[in-house]
Amino acid sequence: MELQNLVCAVTGSGKGLGKAIAEKFYAEGAKVVLWDRSGLAKEVMASLDPSGERTLYVRADVREEEQVQQAAAQIAAKFGRIDVLVNNAGISRHKPLAEMTVELWDEVIDTNLKGVFLCCKAIVPYMKEQKRGKIVNIASLGGRSGRNVGINYAASKAGVSGITKVLAKELGPSGIYSNAIAPGPILTEQTRQYPPEVFEGWNAGRAIIRDGLPEDVADLAVFLASRRSDWVTGTTIDINGGILIR
């Protein structure tokens, strides 16, 4: 098993990519922290490990520093260490510039970008104490290509890639790795709510015919969380079926 006994915290793990990553980590032997603000991740935890021996649920809003700090302390109190942080929690509020309000801008930036900053700030000290850790940030094709995803979402995800690079340089000497995954359109509960023609439009130019699945992203997250990626840091890896080939 790739992640045997590693303590892995996954934000936004109640559904979609976060849920798939948490489930894959658990299957690979990790002790998994299921973290969200809605309560859905608690149900995922119950389905994975009713005993709670290898899982922990924390309810915390990644936009709120005090809640994030308390969550990190809660994880350390149960497991004694934090080996992997997956910053997956994120939202989208697509609007063209003329309809974009300051409230919509702030909501997305605070969740997708400030949330990554606050979670790293809270958990990195534990990794430094261990002299090892892995940060896996979920970026997006929308922050890489300028596709029609809304300027707030694109800016937040481009910022995630920027944070990833800076942390890799800053934390590398402490044995801490920082990488990001930039998925293209993935079939999740959220994307299934859009009309099929919208989803097909997002996939225009794709080289691989089949749709992307949460499990595809989860497999890459396992690699970045494991020792197999010990010569990889500071990079954003595109996973989009060949939509973005450069």
Catalytic residues: 153
Separation CA 57–CA 72 (nearest Å) = 12
Compute the distance between CA of residue 57 and CA of residue 26 in angstroms, rounded to an integer. 13
Range 37-75 burial, b when 16+ CB lie within 10 A, else e: beebbbebbeebbeeeebbbbbebbbbbeebbbebbebb
